[in-house]
Every structure is written in C-alpha cells, then in structure tokens.
Amino acid sequence: MAFEPAVDCPVCETTLAPDRTLEDHLCRNHTQEELARLLVRKHDSAGGRIRTPALANAGPNAREHDLR
C-alpha cells in the first residue's frame, strides 16, 4: 500500500484528515471570495502570470471552443 502524504489547505493551512480531499475541503469550508483571493495572491507572486493554467486547455494557444 502506497503512503499518501498529508495534504495542507493552501487557504487556511489546516492539515486534512486522510479521508478528505482538498477539493471537498475547499468547497465545503471556504467561500468563493477566499478562493479568489488565493488565486490572486498566486498570480501576484508569479510576477503577473500564473505559470500553470487553471484549466487544462486555457493556455496561450487555447481556442475559444476549448474553454466551453
């Protein structure tokens, strides 16, 4: 059995229980405004750009129909 390291929430820095997913925690425990603030902080600390796109098809070469 593979060992899964503990996951920390990037918003509140809480260590999640082994049976919880980060997605579940973020959706249940944080508001959309808190999550938006986290993304803005990451954007600002990346020098004005997020280095990895939030959506798989949302890069500089993305086409409009990829974003639907």
Predicted confidence (pLDDT) per residue in 3-62, tens digit: 778 899 999 999 999 889 999 999 999 999 999 999 998 888 877 655 565 555 555 665
Structure-derived torsion over alpha carbons of residues 21, 23, 27, 29, reported in degrees to the nearest 10 = 50
pTM summary value: 0.57
User: Considering only CA atoms, which of 23, 65, 67, 57 is closest in space to residue 10?
Assistant: 23
The DSSP line for the chain is: -PPPPP-B-TTT-PBPPTT--HHHHHHHHS-HHHHHHHHHHHHHHTTSS-SS-SSTT-STT--GGGG-
The domain segmentation of the chain, as residue ranges, is 7-46
